[in-house]
Amino acid sequence: MSIYDTLNPEQKEAVLQTEGPVLILAGAGSGKTRVLTHRIAYLIDEKGINPWNIMAITFTNKAAGEMRERVDKIVGFGSESIWVSTFHSSCVRILRRYIDRLGYENNFTIYDTDDQKSLMKEVCKKLNIDTKIYKERAILGAISSAKDNLVGPEEYEKSVMDDYGRKKIAMAYTEYQKELKKNNALDFDDLIVKTVELFQSCPDVLDSYQERFKYIMVDEYQDTNTAQFKFVSLLAGKYQNLCVVGDDDQSIYKFRGANIGNILGFEKVFPRAKVIKLEQNYRSTKTILEAANQVIHNNIGRKAKTLWTDNEIGEPVHYRQFMNGYEEAEYIAGDISKRVREGECEYKDCAILYRTNAQSRMFEEKFLMANIPYRLVGGVNFYARKEIKDLLAYLKTVDNGQDDLAVRRIINVPKRGIGLTSINRVQEYAAMHEKGFYECLKGADLIPDIGRGVSKLESFVALIEHFKVDAKELTLHELMQEIIDETGYIESIQAESEIEAQARIENIDELLNKVVAYEEVCEEHDEPVTLSGFLEEVALVADIDNLDENSDYVVLMTLHSAKGLEFPRVYLAGMEDGLFPSYMTVTADDPDELEEERRLCYVGITRAQSELTMTCARRRMVRGETQYNKMSRFLKEVPLELISTGNKFSGNGKSLTDHADHEEPERKTDYQMARQAFKTKAFAAVQQGKSFGKPAGGKLEYGVGDRVRHIKFGEGTVLSIVEGGRDYEVTVNFDGHGTKKMFAAFAKLQKI
């Protein structure tokens, strides 16, 4: 039996259709990754296509890694030649080779969000733009949007007409691009834009890549923007063997520039395109799918499809309404505790999804109290932490001295007595002579009025030049270690704050781990280990890539972050008009915006495999004010027969719309029953903790000086124990999180 016989008829059709443009409309959980990997295998094994001629594009490094892994298993020998990467990674590889054709040097730096903000701050200062009126973020957002649509500074300037505000943005855009080029740097948007520019201005380069990539596949096509679409259509222009996979119902990144028109209008751009629909879902129960279908069918701007499954009917969708957000969080924490305690599931089976990041706080508080391990996805990114950015800035400076931002970040880190006056004089001199900041540092003695600061500047340059020489001889992790040691970086953070020092040192250790891991991967794939390569990999890491599937914790994340993931039990929290859909969407009265929000709801529902709970609150604190909200219109679009509320509604086949706003007595009864469920579950979990905290003998199993372990904070030493009536107050110095005070009942500390 062939591996292709395991596919359903539609999946098989998608695999075998190898020639010409193909649009695969793959519903949530329909096995699109399986189709893509089998399609690649079919091209190699059955069609005899050279793996070298195949390109597969995904949106995250994680997805790219998984795809390559799966292809390796099916194909085996030769699959390493397939180009599997993200849009940005692909473009970086192309630009590293050919960007000199556009007047840049090939060792360019990639600016992250913080670097962009710093540069824009300088641009605004230079152009006398009032940042109280024109925020740096807003200007960068407008520039990013322009780049997504392949609108350059000149074209943008022509389009502003008499709009004073946009004229300011146009000025900033022109200067920002000028500064980027001077620093030999690109931002994320530039990676795509410059590659398109390269292809359009250098036909020979485009032709060489068209000849190489005769078969192109793009995953998550509904999330592409205009620039990404242009990049793909140029590459596929010669052979037209372009296969795109996506789901218009999961297009939720309009705010990032995603253009749903790319997938809805695919057949207009490629008239010969074959359209194949994958509608069989392998993830969710019949009930969950039906709820998702009923919600999304309210959208007009979509391609007609209805998901179905052979899976069991499953449990009804659980709906609970609470008086406020605290009760909602407490109910969910209690429900998870109870189910884990009774062996129904593990913590990692549960995910709480919400519309905005701010909603996580209450859940975090309740989880800490209930001792529930959790992981917040979308918090402070590892690479955004100060100590990590500092050390990466050293590496960037060693790799590319033209990166002014990186140089200025570390010139006085750790403190080496270089004052702001000296830095400003160098900056002014560089601007006047149109030279790079580091270049001017190398000739600091030539700068007027630099005074006594010149010797300190010269010693900094000598240090960097020393690292540059060593970089040619040392391995990457040896270079990293040398920078840490010779700058005295760890000693400096220990001197700043003893409490935070340990956690920051652990972050530095983790960065070293990353360097070593990068070296090992390069060796495995027989690729050269380069400083540029490492910095580019770091720049391209997505936050979601860090989600460890093997650890046992509840996952908290926004609905946007949840895309592409699945969990046995999903809690959709904050299902209220004004929160989801957002207040801006409700008041804007824009059908397109509302449809985007509904697609987001559809994504949330289809993350659930076996159980879905949707919760809302009658009132909620928003920006310090109490807000009273109706239940979400999306919740009302789920038919009542699919919902379990704890109360039997009269009527048959009606939705929540028919009851929630009109039958007041029944709504109250329903709420009371939901509240009763919350009480029994939440308080049962707390009481169990209390009995653990103070055993019958009145003694704890640990004492002052003992080593203990906490489920979230890890290991630490007990500093003091104070008896406080019904419980003990325990003070612990945790190795990685500093000193914490907590009640023994809630802490559940275990002696090591």
- Residues involved in catalysis: 32-33, 219-220, 250, 607
Q: In 3D, which of 410, 391, 386, 385 has the Cα closest to residue 484?
A: 391
Q: How many other β-carbons are positioned within 10 Å of the β-carbon of residue 699?
A: 10
Give the containing element (helix H, strand E) for 464: helix 454-471
List Cα–Cα distances, 536 to 218, 469, 479, 603, in angstroms. 22, 21, 17, 31
For residue 198, the cross-strand partners are none
Query: The tokens 């222009």 sit on which residue?
Result: 237
Assess contact for 692 and 745: CB atoms under 8 A. Answer: yes
Chain length of the chain = 752
φ/ψ (deg, to 5) at 104: -105, 165
Question: Left if phi > 0, otherwise alpha if psi is -120 to 50, otherwise beta: which for 507?
Answer: alpha
Q: Residue holding tokens 């914790």? A: 553
540 Cα distance to chain centroid: 11
Tell me which residue of 427, 423, 471, 432 sits closest to 451, measured CA to CA: 423
| Closest to 316 in 3D by CA, of 286, 336, 287, 281 | 287
Q: CA–CA separation, 659 vs 140, rounded Å? A: 46
DSSP 8-class letter at 691: H
Terminal CA-CA length for the chain: 54
Spatial strand order in the sheet of 707-710? 738-743, 727-734, 714-724, 707-710, 750-751
Cβ within 8 Å of residue 344, ≥6 positions away:
none
Contacts of 608 (CB under 8 A, 6+ apart): 284, 288, 566, 567, 568, 569, 570
346 contact partners, CB below 8 Å, separation of at least 6: 340, 552
Which secondary structure element, helix H or strand E, spans residue 38, and what is its range? helix 32-45
Distance CA 173, CA 153 (A): 6
Q: What CA–CA distance (Å, rounded) separates 230 from 227? A: 5
Q: What is the DSSP string of 309-368?
A: -SS---PPEEEEEEEEHHHHHHHHHHHHHHHHHTTS--GGGEEEEESSGGGHHHHHHHHH
| Residue 534 identity (one-letter amino acid) | F
| Count of beta carbons in the 10 Å neighbourhood of residue 323 | 13
DSSP 551-605: S--EEEEEHHHHTT--EEEEEE---BTBBTTBHHHHHHT-HHHHHHHHHHHHHHH
